[in-house]
Amino acid sequence: MISPERDCALCDLHRWRTNLVLPKGDYGSPVVFVGEAPGENEDLQGKPFVGRAGAILDGIMDEVGLDRNAVMITNTVKCRPPRNREPQPEEMAACRRFLDSELKGRKAVVGLGKSSIKDLLGYEGPMAPIVNTRQAIDVDGEKVVFIPTYHPMACIYQKDAREHLKLTIAMVKEEFFS
């Protein structure tokens, strides 16, 4: 895997970060979960999905019986956007070579939320029609299964998002970890 230098300044996000937020979990896992961008807690700790969204994700993974450490978890960008705004296309493009290196050789990538789905699949429409469908993305010339689903924070605002995310994780467990 290729990681950004500690003093990375490929985009303006470096101006607001406390820490680079690099992937965590099993680097050899067949599955990678890709979120949008680090939030405040992630920026402070330098780890993905450790704040409120991480607690929701962990809870659902526990319910399904998939150990968080069995997958690798990362984000489309490695630095926190100001005021937790969505990452901009040029920011995601700046981090894309790092993300591609994290995804290379995987059997499946799970896109958590609209930004990761837009970045990896190029899809900008409503979530409902594509959630838990099998798509294909290109990662350095290789086709990889891509499963779009809701971001854990959507579970707070949309009642059915939690059930869809739970189904995603159950599908991943059954297919790639049984």
- Count of C-beta atoms within a 10 Å radius of residue 105: 13
Which position has the token pair 């607001």? 16
pLDDT at 167: 97
Q: Are 45 and 85 in contact (CB under 8 A)?
A: no
Spatial separation of the C-alpha atoms in residues 169 and 61, rounded to whole Å: 7
Q: Are 102 and 73 in contact (CB under 8 A)?
A: no
pLDDT at 137: 97
Which position has the token pair 């995601």? 92
Which residues are CB-contacts of 26 (< 8 A; sequence separation ≥ 6)? Answer: 69, 70, 71, 72
Q: Are 31 and 172 in contact (CB under 8 A)?
A: yes
**Cα torsion angle, 39, 40, 43, 47, sign:** negative
pTM confidence score:
0.96
C-alpha of 121 from chain center? 13
pLDDT at 122: 94
pLDDT at 39: 94
**Residue 73: closest CA among 93, 94, 54:** 54
Q: What is the pLDDT along the chain (178 residues), one digit of tens a residue?
A: 899 999 999 999 999 999 999 999 999 999 999 999 999 999 999 999 999 999 999 999 999 999 999 999 999 999 999 998 999 999 999 999 999 999 999 999 999 999 999 999 999 999 999 999 999 999 999 999 999 999 999 999 898 999 999 999 999 999 999 8
Query: Torsions phi, psi of 78, nearest 5?
Result: -100, 0
**Residue 164: closest CA among 115, 110, 119:** 110
